[in-house]
């Protein structure tokens, strides 16, 4: 790093806290704000704590958001004490949340009207990727703004792609979440089938890891299913939100996504059984309810 940047970070949850931490560790001047409890690691760091999103925007040249959903981004940007109120021409707003592609385009136009640039840059990789700075980052915006912010992205992720204009990063993230959900369902069905048939699901998973069925989902979430470790990770409620974006956008586009809808119903079942905060690998529990059999129990 040749010089220190003034970077704002708003939203310090499971993902945001370690992401902001990497920026602090790299030696940048980081200004932070969160509505929840300030994480200990950030509180004890050299990051400057601000009293509002506006305060962050007034001090930083690049302002990053990492919040749960579209309404949260809207509030962070445009409330009375929001980011827009603290902007001056030439600054960059970077939304790394996973939200509506349609709303993203509207947000970008409003920020552009203030003389500032806007990138949507949602991520994939979960808490592990955030902690290890190995996130995949899908970016929508102009080439010039992307190049300006890319060194900051490189402190948080590895696979960094400019997909297209504003909104295209969010579209890529929705596509990512469709693939992840359907892979979780596939792995869950396969391991449940194997266990009910009397095979050891852990050994079946190990055997499949060496073949064409191998995947990151089988590796990481397959192990969660076998070991029954469903602490998030990535909460089912957040994946429900992402699939809602997929299904509502698909309806607007006139596209049928039948298996995405089925995955959403399985998440809905988990949430109905008190599992909205479970890791999304716990989709397997909905299938286990249907089978009246849990992976790990002895087949009759």
Torsion angle of the four alpha carbons 213, 215, 217, 222, in this order, in degrees rounded to the nearest 10: 50
- Residue identified by tokens 């912010």 is 149
Catalytic residue among 91, 173, 196, 241: 173
> In Å, how far are 24, 68, 102, 143 from 87, measured between CA atoms?
22, 22, 23, 21
> In Å, how far are 73, 125, 131, 143, 161 from 136, measured between CA atoms?
20, 6, 13, 18, 8
Structure tokens at 23: 């920026």
> In Å, how far are 34, 111, 192, 295 from 78, measured between CA atoms?
16, 10, 47, 47
Name the DSSP letter for residue 38: P
Which candidate, 284, 244, 282, places its Cα nearest to that of 260? 244
In whole angstroms, how large is the CA radius of gyration of the chain?
A: 20
Instruction: List phi, psi (to 5°) of 203.
Output: -75, -35
How far apart, in whole angstroms, are the C-alpha atoms of residue 195 and residue 200? 6
Structure tokens at 175: 């596509």
Which candidate, 213, 201, 220, 210, places its Cα nearest to that of 280? 220
131 is catalytic: no
Q: What residues contact residue 265 under an 8 Å CB cut-off, 6+ apart?
A: none
Which candidate, 141, 140, 12, places its Cα nearest to that of 67? 12
Catalytic machinery residues: 173
């Amino acid at each position: 790093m040749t010089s220190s940047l003034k970077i704002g970070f708003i939203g310090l949850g499971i993902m945001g806290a370690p992401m902001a931490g990497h920026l602090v560790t790299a030696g940048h001047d980081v200004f932070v704000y969160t509505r929840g409890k300030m994480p200990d690691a950030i509180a004890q760091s050299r990051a400057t704590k601000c009293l509002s999103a506006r305060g962050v925007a007034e001090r930083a040249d690049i302002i990053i958001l990492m919040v749960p959903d579209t309404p949260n981004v809207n509030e962070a940007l445009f409330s009375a004490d929001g980011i827009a109120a603290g902007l001056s021409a030439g600054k960059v707003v970077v939304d790394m949340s996973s939200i509506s592609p349609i709303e993203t385009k509207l947000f970008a136009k409003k920020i552009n009207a203030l003389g500032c640039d806007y990138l949507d840059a949602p991520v994939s990789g979960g808490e592990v990727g955030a902690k290890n700075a190995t996130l995949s980052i899908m970016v929508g915006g102009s080439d010039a703004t992307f190049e300006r912010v890319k060194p900051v992205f490189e402190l948080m992720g590895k696979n960094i792609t400019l997909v297209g204009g504003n909104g295209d990063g969010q579209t890529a993230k929705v596509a990512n979440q469709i693939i992840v959900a359907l892979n979780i369902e596939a792995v869950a069905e396969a391991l449940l089938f194997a266990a009910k048939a009397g095979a050891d699901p852990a050994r079946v998973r190990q055997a499949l890891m060496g073949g064409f069925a191998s995947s990151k989902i089988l590796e990481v979430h397959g192990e969660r299913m076998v070991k029954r470790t469903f602490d998030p990770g990535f909460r089912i409620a957040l994946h429900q939100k992402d699939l809602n974006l997929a299904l509502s956008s698909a309806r607007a586009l006139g596209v049928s996504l039948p298996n995405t809808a089925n995955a959403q119903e399985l998440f809905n079942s988990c949430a109905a059984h008190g599992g909205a905060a479970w890791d999304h690998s716990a989709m397997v529990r909905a299938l286990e309810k249907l089978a009246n059999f849990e992976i790990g129990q002895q087949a009759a």
